[in-house]
Structure 1
């Protein structure tokens, strides 16, 4: 699926460019993300995603295929696999920065493929989650840019909580998910009743 998001940060484009490439610095703004290693081009780490009562951890790498400082354009290719399951996640993220009213406008295009539990929500829900996630990321990034100058060491923090898909998508999605569960239970109950009736009829 293809997703598009835009946000702005109140700093000049050069500062925003350096900040977005400072992976250890911006990673805490992404719920569930943990960076284990970064050599300037390849990021190794994990992302935890909570789907109802189940938490799924994806481990993998993300590689900068492009870092065009002149055009302020970057392309990041990421792949991950569930640590306890067969689910996978692949994403190609293209970001471009442009000066706007003294700040920086950031445009992000994501080509995302997900298998496993998170895939059950479909494009609509994942798009909702993406909108909220980008909004949260933009606010966090703006706050960090205002507080911390580029190049300063990042203070170690507690382990990041998982990205909660239901909470991030909001109450309507949670209600839809609950409706699906209730519907499944109703169908199961109905099928059980029908089987019992057939068995009872067979013994007459």
Structure 2
């Protein structure tokens, strides 16, 4: 599926571009993400996703296939696999930065393929989740970009992995519409269970009468 998003940050393109490439600086703005290693081109890490009571962890890599500083365009290809399961996730993210009124407009196009449990929600819900996450990411990024960046030597090497990230809760991120759907599914399952139990009781009663 293809997802399209756009957001703005309150700094010029010349500041926004290197900041977006500073993975260790922006990673905390990505819910559920943990960076283990980054060599300037390839990111190795994990993402935790929560689907109801189940938490799924994806481990994989993300590679910058393009970093065009003149055009302020970057292409990131990420792929991961469930650590306990057969599910996979792959995304090609293309971001273009444009100066606007002293700030920067960031246009993001994502080609996403997901298999496994998170895929059960379908395109509509995943798009809704994406909208909310991009909004949260933009707010977090704007705050970080207006703060002075710490010097490289001041960053402990273990900072990127010390804090265990909270998993990305898909039901919470999607909000009320998904909660209503989940409640409807739960109600339907409950009703089905009641019907099955009644049928079993009737069947047992019939058998009891026949024995008499």
With the length of structure 2 as denominator, give the TM-score of the two structures: 0.89
Q: Which protein shows a greater Rg? A: 2
Deviation at 1:185, TM superposition (A): 2.6
Over residues 127-157 of structure 1, what are the superposed CA-to-partner deviations in whole Å (9 max), with x where a residue is unaligned?
1111111111111111111112376455736
Of residues 165, 171, 185 in structure 1, which corresponds to 2:170? 165
Aligned to 2:102: 102
**Residues 150 and 3 of structure 1, relative CA distance in 2, 3 Å threshold:** farther
**Residues 167 and 111 of structure 1, relative CA distance in 2, 3 Å threshold:** same
Deviation at 1:172, TM superposition (A): 2.6
Checking the alignment, whether the CA contact within 8 Å between 1:13 and 1:99 is kept in structure 2 is yes
Deviation at 1:120, TM superposition (A): 1.2
Deviation at 1:167, TM superposition (A): 1.0
Provide the alpha-carbon RMSD of the alignment.
1.9
- Counterparts of 2:103 and 2:57 in 1: how far apart (Å)? 35
With the length of structure 1 as denominator, give the TM-score of the two structures: 0.92
**Residues 162 and 50 of structure 1, relative CA distance in 2, 3 Å threshold:** same
**Residues 129 and 164 of structure 1, relative CA distance in 2, 3 Å threshold:** same
Deviation at 1:186, TM superposition (A): 1.8
- Counterparts of 1:128 and 1:96 in 2: how far apart (Å)? 22
- Counterparts of 2:117 and 2:29 in 1: how far apart (Å)? 24
Deviation at 1:193, TM superposition (A): 3.4
**Residues 26 and 154 of structure 1, relative CA distance in 2, 3 Å threshold:** farther
Give SS of 1:131's match.
helix
Checking the alignment, whether the CA contact within 8 Å between 1:25 and 1:154 is kept in structure 2 is no
- Counterparts of 2:20 and 2:150 in 1: how far apart (Å)? 10
Matched, 1:15 2:15: yes
Give SS of 2:146's match.
helix
**Residues 59 and 120 of structure 1, relative CA distance in 2, 3 Å threshold:** same
Aligned to 2:42: 42
Q: Number of residues paired by the alignment?
A: 204
Matches within 5 A, 1:8-157: 8-149=8-149, 152=152, 153-154=154-155, 156=159
- Counterparts of 1:90 and 1:182 in 2: how far apart (Å)? 33
- Counterparts of 2:139 and 2:155 in 1: how far apart (Å)? 18
Over residues 93-122 of structure 1, what are the superposed CA-to-partner deviations in whole Å (9 max), with x where a residue is unaligned?
111100111110000001111111111111
Checking the alignment, whether the CA contact within 8 Å between 1:18 and 1:150 is kept in structure 2 is no
Structure 2: state its 5+ residue gaps. Answer: none
Over residues 51-99 of structure 1, what are the superposed CA-to-partner deviations in whole Å (9 max), with x where a residue is unaligned?
1111111000111111111111111111111111111111111111001
Aligned to 2:190: 185
Deviation at 1:34, TM superposition (A): 0.2
Aligned to 1:176: 181
